[in-house]
């Protein structure tokens, strides 16, 4: 079993308006985040606007990230398609490109029943050798992973992780207590990582970690050392920045914040819209307030 753990930022996808990837800034961001101590990188999560990218764009982004990371930290790339076969094909190509793990994102159109959800994730896992992390996001898609499906999927050897985006500790508790020998939890960030760490998570994958990498690592270390009270105070302090990410749409907000920090990642992909001038100003003030 692999031992991914710690803070894995969901990388934004810096795009030109002609649909090409802004390679230089993506490489800079990778270096910057590794310098700040993050433990891994996750391109093509929700914050990475994966749903807004074509396959060639997705592939190019993963190529750049793997190359830029130079093995310093593991890269777990997101794959997603409504069809099992196409998602599996993406996973295989990413493995050939050298990723260390696959974040398997469920994409649905017709509502899926549990056996179909199982089939989808199982197909992806069987198509690669590397570790796979299960991921669903109930904020954006109707389908949820039940305990029973997670339990069955965890029997597939290379399904080693689950990324929980719900922040519902009631759903995580049984996974943490009954399946902890066969699947490890990555938390969402925001208000919850310390609690999920306390439940036994090994880290978190999150968009905000792009702009607060050092702070995220500090919080992670407090959790690892079981300094819960100190960690709680620190998590509260970081909360203001998270509240602004909840207020605005995730990807546009992280891209705006990175632009403020000097990374020319560009605008979100239309029809997503960049933050307005006033929203950017508000975001700037919040970032200053928490010394970012």
Q: Does 115 bind its own copies (CB under 8 A)?
A: yes
Contact 257, 211 (CB under 8 A): yes
The residue with tokens 């998270």 is 242
Preceding amide of 271 cis, omega within 30: yes
The residue with tokens 């398609």 is 81
- Of 67 and 279, which has the nearer Cβ to its own copies? 279
- Of 83 and 264, which has the nearer Cβ to its own copies? 83
Q: Does 111 bind its own copies (CB under 8 A)?
A: yes
Contact set for its own copies, span 45-74 (CB under 8 A)? 46, 49, 51-55
List residues bridging with 204 in a β-sheet.
7, 187
Q: Does 24 bind its own copies (CB under 8 A)?
A: no
Own/partner long-range contacts of 232-235 (Cβ < 8 Å, ≥24 apart)? 232/194, 235/191, 235/193, 235/194
Interface with its own copies (CB under 8 A), residue from 82, 146, 225, 230: 82
Residue 205: strand, helix, or coil: strand
Environment class of 190 (CB within 10 Å of its CB; exposed 0-12, middle 13-18, buried 19+) = buried
* Closest separation in Å from C-beta 73 to its own copies: 27
* Closest separation in Å from C-beta 7 to its own copies: 19
To the query of whether residue 182 is one of the catalytic residues in this protein, the response is no
* Closest separation in Å from C-beta 17 to its own copies: 9
Q: Does 290 bind its own copies (CB under 8 A)?
A: no
> Considering Cα of 151, then 223, then 206, then 132, what sign does the dihedral take?
negative
Interface with its own copies (CB under 8 A), residue from 3, 129, 181, 271: 271
The residue with tokens 């560009």 is 266
- Of 66 and 195, which has the nearer Cβ to its own copies? 195
* Closest separation in Å from C-beta 177 to its own copies: 5
Q: Does 42 bind its own copies (CB under 8 A)?
A: no
Interface with its own copies (CB under 8 A), residue from 214, 228, 274, 280: 228
Q: Which of 10, 120, 163, 220 is catalytic?
A: 163
Q: Show the DSSP H helices in the chain as ranges.
A: 23-35, 55-69, 84-97, 114-127, 147-153, 169-178, 193-198, 213-224, 228-247, 250-260, 277-289
Q: Does 272 bind its own copies (CB under 8 A)?
A: yes
Q: Which of 10, 135, 161, 220 is catalytic?
A: 135
Environment class of 45 (CB within 10 Å of its CB; exposed 0-12, middle 13-18, buried 19+) = buried
To the query of whether residue 10 is one of the catalytic residues in this protein, the response is no
Contacts of residue 23, Cβ cutoff 8 Å, sequence gap at least 6: 64
User: Which residues belong to the active site?
Assistant: 135, 163
Q: Residues interacting with its own copies, by CB under 8 A?
A: 19, 46, 49, 51-55, 81-86, 107, 109-112, 115-117, 119-120, 123, 140, 167-170, 173-174, 176-177, 190-192, 195, 198-199, 226, 228-229, 232, 236, 239, 243, 246, 249-251, 269-273
């Amino acid at each position: 079993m692999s031992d991914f753990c710690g803070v894995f930022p969901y990388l934004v996808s810096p795009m030109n308006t002609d649909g090409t990837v802004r390679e230089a800034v993506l490489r800079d961001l990778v270096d910057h985040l590794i310098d700040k101590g993050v433990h891994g990188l996750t391109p093509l999560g929700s914050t990475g606007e994966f749903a807004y990218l074509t396959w060639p764009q997705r592939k190019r982004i993963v190529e750049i990230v793997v190359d830029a990371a130079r093995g310093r930290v593991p890269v777990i790339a997101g794959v997603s398609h409504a069809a099992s076969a196409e998602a599996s094909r993406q996973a295989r190509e990413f493995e050939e490109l050298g990723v260390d793990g696959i974040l398997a994102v469920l994409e649905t159109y017709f509502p899926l029943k549990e056996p179909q959800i199982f089939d989808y994730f199982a197909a992806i896992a069987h198509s690669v050798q590397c570790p796979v992390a299960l991921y669903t996001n109930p904020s954006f898609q109707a389908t949820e992973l039940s305990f029973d499906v997670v339990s069955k999927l965890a029997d597939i050897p290379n399904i080693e992780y689950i990324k929980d985006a719900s922040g519902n500790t009631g759903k995580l508790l049984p996974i943490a207590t009954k399946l902890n020998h066969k699947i490890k939890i990555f938390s969402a960030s925001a208000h919850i990582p310390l609690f999920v760490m306390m439940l036994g998570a090994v880290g978190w994958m999150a968009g905000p970690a792009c702009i607060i990498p050092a702070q995220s690592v500090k919080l992670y270390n407090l959790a690892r050392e079981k300094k819960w009270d100190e960690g709680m105070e620190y998590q509260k302090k970081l909360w203001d920045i998270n509240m602004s990410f909840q207020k605005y749409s995730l990807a546009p907000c992280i891209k705006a914040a990175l632009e403020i920090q000097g990374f020319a990642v560009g605008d979100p992909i239309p029809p997503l819209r960049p933050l307005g001038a006033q929203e950017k100003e508000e975001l700037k003030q919040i970032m200053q307030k928490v010394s970012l």
